[in-house]
Amino acid sequence: MAAQLDQITTKEDHDGLVRRLITRWRDDPGATYRSWFLWDERLKNFRSIRRGITQVVGEIERGSFGVAYRGSSLETVVHSVAEQRQIFKGADHAFLWKPKLRIPDIYESPENQRAFGRLLDACSCCDTAEEIIGHIHAIDRLKIKGLGPAVANLLYFLHPTLVPPFNTAIVKGYNALTGANVKLGSWEHFLAMRTGILDLNDRFRDLLSNDLGAIGGLLFDIGSDRYPAPPLDVSGAALASWGQRLEAAREEARTLSKAAQREGENERTHTEIQAWLRDLGLALGYDVWIAANDRSRAFNGSPLGAGCLERLPETIARSKGADSIRLIDVLWLEKAGDHVAAAFEVEHSTSIYSGIVRMLDLALSGSDLHATAGLFLVAPDAREADVRAQLQRPAFSRVADLDISYLPYGELERNREAIARFGSGLKAIKAVSSKLA
């Protein structure tokens, strides 16, 4: 009984240390909780990645997917995942074709490719953990060479409350935090780790989230050596050493935060560009819509959505793709009408994939928008070559029909005041933009 009490006390002590760690981690502006999990763009990307997965499934079913990763719809989706800040960096490595090893074997083997498509399709349609696990077991039984738990990064964007993200750092962090010995490349080990992650998430739910991205970020930061895992043996020496390393991590976080703040003082922000477009649209006499999840963000002491529409016109709100349309960064609408005159997606630093998908949803919403409105990707001047290269991907083959334009930050900054004073309609804003397709 005494030994059992000691064990319980030790577990409680370890949980207390984990709580201390999570609290410190949540307060660190450079840790994944604030830099990625609370990132305004994160939720916007879920729909576009899900739509991309649907496109991959459709191409596999039609037999038009091809035999190469490069240039495929899968590359577009995985590239978009990989750009979801540091936690998913390298997510594309598992899908890159390695000719000497002939992995992952979903390009040269039509049967394996179709099985991969069935997994994505089945997990897109199911709703329960039991169904997802059943589909994972089914793909695991096929023993497709090189196709392992890295696929969980796609499944996470389909079911963020049921499937945690997965990479080497997350596995390393989980092992360090729990004392487990999870191996990479094994679906069996991934499912065991998933069970353990769910248990951890339940125990510390008040500090984490139903969305398993939060605890995935914590494990990533531990596995990346940004934060030290509490010692499993809660002895005096181990505890003192851990406390010193945790304090050092906090001091490093403060230093990095100050440096990032100084560096960012001369850098335009996504919110600032949205505010420019908001003010310009209002000056030109349009009603303005700010993305639903950005309206309350503060800029110059007031909400970004101040003076803008509080709800979309019913015809748009009920249209196909409305959930995606309401997340477009800025819309200009004809005064007191239901026609969108211009749509703007601000692509500050991440992939253009999500913005393009929202543009497509708007253009295909049942109106003649693509023939009558201005569609603009707004990005730093230096990103034009990258944007044009991205639009050459097969996944964006329909973009040519949209008459989409590239609006550089520099042109917007130099000309916005003159356009607001002397401009009318979209003529001036189109004059400082360039066609992309």
Can you give the three-state secondary structure of 236-266, one letter per residue?
Answer: HHHHHHHHHHHHHHHHHHHHHHHHHHHHHCC
Q: Which CATH number fits domain 270-435: 3.30.420, 3.40.91, 3.40.50, 3.40.1350?
A: 3.40.91
Q: Is 230 left (phi over 0), alpha (psi -120 to 50) or beta?
A: beta
Indicate the pLDDT class of residue 125, thresholds 50, 70 and 90: very high
φ, ψ of residue 184 to 5 degrees: the values are -75, 155
User: Quick check: helix, strand or coil at residue 405?
Assistant: strand
Degrees (nearest 5) of the Cα angle 85, 130, 105? 60
Burial 329-358 (b: 16+ CB within 10 A, else e): bbbbbeeeeeebbbbbbbbbebbbbbbbbb
pLDDT at residue 199 tops 50: yes
pLDDT at residue 210 tops 70: yes
pLDDT at residue 272 tops 60: yes
Q: Is 251 left (phi over 0), alpha (psi -120 to 50) or beta?
A: alpha
Cα–Cα distance between 54 and 56 in angstroms, integer? 5
pLDDT of residue 186: 95
Average predicted confidence (pLDDT) for the chain: 85
Contact status, residue 52 vs residue 76, Cβ threshold 8 Å = yes
Q: For residue range 54-79, what is the model confidence (pLDDT) as tens digits?
A: 999 999 999 999 888 888 889 888 88
pLDDT of residue 216: 97
- The average pLDDT across 110-133 equals 96
- The average pLDDT across 391-419 equals 82
Q: For residue range 327-365, what is the model confidence (pLDDT) as tens digits?
A: 889 999 999 888 889 999 998 766 677 777 777 777 766
Contact status, residue 362 vs residue 400, Cβ threshold 8 Å = no
Element spanning 303, H or E: strand 302-303
Q: How many CB atoms lie within 10 A of CB 265?
A: 7
Annotated domain spans of the chain: 9-223, 270-435
Contact status, residue 347 vs residue 355, Cβ threshold 8 Å = yes
User: Quick check: helix, strand or coil at residue 63?
Assistant: coil
Indicate the pLDDT class of residue 389, thresholds 50, 70 and 90: confident
pLDDT at residue 190 tops 70: yes
Contact status, residue 98 vs residue 107, Cβ threshold 8 Å = no
- The average pLDDT across 378-388 equals 83
pLDDT of residue 400: 63
What is the pTM for the complete model shown?
A: 0.75
- The average pLDDT across 385-410 equals 77
Contacts of 59 (CB under 8 A, 6+ apart): 65, 66, 72, 73
pLDDT at residue 5 tops 50: no
pLDDT of residue 378: 92
